[in-house]
Amino acid sequence: IYFKKVAERINACIDPNDQRFILILRDPVLRTYSLYWNMIYEGYESLTFREAINAEESRLNKNHTNTFGNIRFQYKDSSLYAKQIRRFKKICPNASWHFILLEELNSNPIETLNKVFDFLKIDRANIATDKISNKSSMPRSILLQNWLNRNSNTRHFFGRFLPHTLKYKIIDTIKNLNKKKFAYPSIDSDMEKFLREYFIDDIL
């Protein structure tokens, strides 16, 4: 829900009285740190976590996107949930909302999903909850990862002869082959304390 244009498009395409939003809220400190490591994996980030946090404001002034796009350097900003929810509620005032804490989903997935079914007014269903998706990983080759993420004449040339969906399926396949398991280190205690204080007003 970070991008304002998403809410505007939803409001234009879906009856305001039928709009239902389901938000999974993660500890904003852990989400901020996770996003940082995801940007490392994607090949966009070269700074340390502390440096990236300190550079965020200047980066946003240069690269801020408020339409559709990727969240890259908006580490703290994209973890300010209240601000984003207020923006959506202003654009979609008649929508219904259902909030889930990630800890609830992890500790009691069946009950949490049943509440989602009830919110959507659909029949409850049996769902496998033992699969872990989006595991932490790092690229085997940073150079290959960077090449896959940026525009290049070679990619543009071959892309002209391939259907859009097939092109991205090939890229995703190569990325998966280039992926290796990785457990990123625990967040620095000083940085965690700084972020806990930063997010407290938004959390409240």
Lowest mean pLDDT among 13-17, 23-27, 58-62, 136-140: 136-140
Query: CB–CB of 25/102 below 8 Å?
Result: yes
Residue 68 pLDDT > 60: no
DSSP 8-state class, residue 178: T
The pLDDT tens digits for 94-148 are 999 999 999 999 999 999 999 999 999 999 887 766 666 666 677 777 777 766 6
84-93 average pLDDT score = 91
Give the DSSP per-residue string, 153-174: HHHHHHHTTS-HHHHHHHHHHH
Q: Check pLDDT > 90 for residue 48.
A: yes
Does the pLDDT of residue 67 top 50, yes or no?
Answer: no
Residues 6+ apart with CB under 8 A from 178: 139, 140, 141, 144, 145, 148
Strand pairing class (20-25; 96-101): parallel
Collect all residues with Cβ–Cβ distance below 8 Å to 28 and sequence separation of at least 6.
Answer: 79, 80, 81, 195, 199, 202, 203
Residue 36 has pLDDT above 90, yes or no: yes
